[in-house]
Amino acid sequence: MNATKHANEEQAQAPDEIESLLPWHAAGTLSRREAERVEEALARDPELARRYDLVREELGETIHLNETLGAPSARALDQLMRQIDAEPKRAPRTLNLAARISEFFASLSPRTLALSAAAAAVAIVLQAGLITSVVLNQPTAGHYQTASAPVAVQAPGAHALIRFAPTASAADITKFLSSHKLGIVAGPMAGGLYRLRIADASLPQAERDKLIKTLQADKIVGFIAAAK
């Protein structure tokens, strides 16, 4: 009987799930989902919010207390290094894959990382364009095709070969293509070249040359030339 009573008292004093998470919420170490649950409970329960203030007070004073504890003297490091020197020598060990990947990314500058990300984005967009063009240009049923016969480009009109500047982002390329009403009809080919449809077949040669010159002036174009 007494044991049951004691157990009930313990039960009554035990924290509910949300209240027990308050210290971790104050320290910012909960998952986003748990933190949202706690935030919702705090918003609707003033008593819980008051208890949360107590937790924050404890957090602040615990940090204060620990920060006044000082630090070990330089003697500790000296002693450690002496002990390490007395240890048996080790053969150099290669980093495991995870550590190598981690080290590789840590060694890149933010600019290099940004350029790599932009290059990856361009590759993804162009690959998507290529896949789309392959799907759209699938021969219809009833036609046959030999392995050695070249497939005619399915976009009649004036064409050009283009290579984009390495620093061009996916957004730059999309903007460039739409502002000049251009379409990629093939690629990537050797040397990172793409075939562009630049105008109708009826456009006079002089106008085509003029258009190529205009496109060449854009900073995202590394190379461009008329193609048959």
Partner 1 sequence: MQTASDEVLIARIAGGDRLAMQVLYARHHVRVYRFILRLTRNEATAEDLISEVFLEIWRSAAKFEGRSQVTTWMLSIARFKALSQLRKRSEEELDEGMAEQIKDHADDPEVSLAKKDKGALLRECLNALSAEHREVIDLVYYHEKSVEEVAGIVGIPAATVKTRMFYARKKLSELLKEQGVDRGWP
Smallest separation (angstroms) from partner 1 to the CB of 49: 12
Smallest separation (angstroms) from partner 1 to the CB of 117: 17
Are the beta carbons of 198 and 185 closer than 8 angstroms? no
Helix H, strand E, coil C: the string for 9-20 is HHHHHCCCHHHH
**CB-CB neighbours of 23 under 10 Å:** 16
Shorter beta-carbon distance to partner 1: residue 82 or 181? 82
Q: Can the peptide bond before residue 46 be classed as cis, meaning omega within 30 degrees of 0?
A: no
> Element (H or E) spanning 186, and its range?
strand 183-189
Shorter beta-carbon distance to partner 1: residue 34 or 172? 34
Shorter beta-carbon distance to partner 1: residue 85 or 200? 85
Please provide the size of the chain in residues: 228
Give how far Cα 99 sits from Cα of 94, 96, 129, Å: 10, 5, 35
Are the beta carbons of 134 and 154 closer than 8 angstroms? no
Interface residues with partner 1 (CB under 8 A)?
A: 13-15, 19-21, 23-24, 26-30, 50-51, 54-55, 57-66, 69-73, 75-77, 79-81, 83-84, 87, 89-96, 98-99, 102-103, 106-109
Shorter beta-carbon distance to partner 1: residue 27 or 165? 27
Shorter beta-carbon distance to partner 1: residue 109 or 148? 109
Amino acid at 201: A
Pair of tokens at residue 2: 């007494």
Shorter beta-carbon distance to partner 1: residue 18 or 121? 18
Smallest separation (angstroms) from partner 1 to the CB of 27: 5
Are the beta carbons of 223 and 163 closer than 8 angstroms? yes
Smallest separation (angstroms) from partner 1 to the CB of 125: 29
Smallest separation (angstroms) from partner 1 to the CB of 53: 10
Smallest separation (angstroms) from partner 1 to the CB of 2: 21
Burial zone of 158 (CB within 10 Å; 0-12 exposed, 13-18 middle, 19+ buried)? buried
Pair of tokens at residue 185: 């009809």
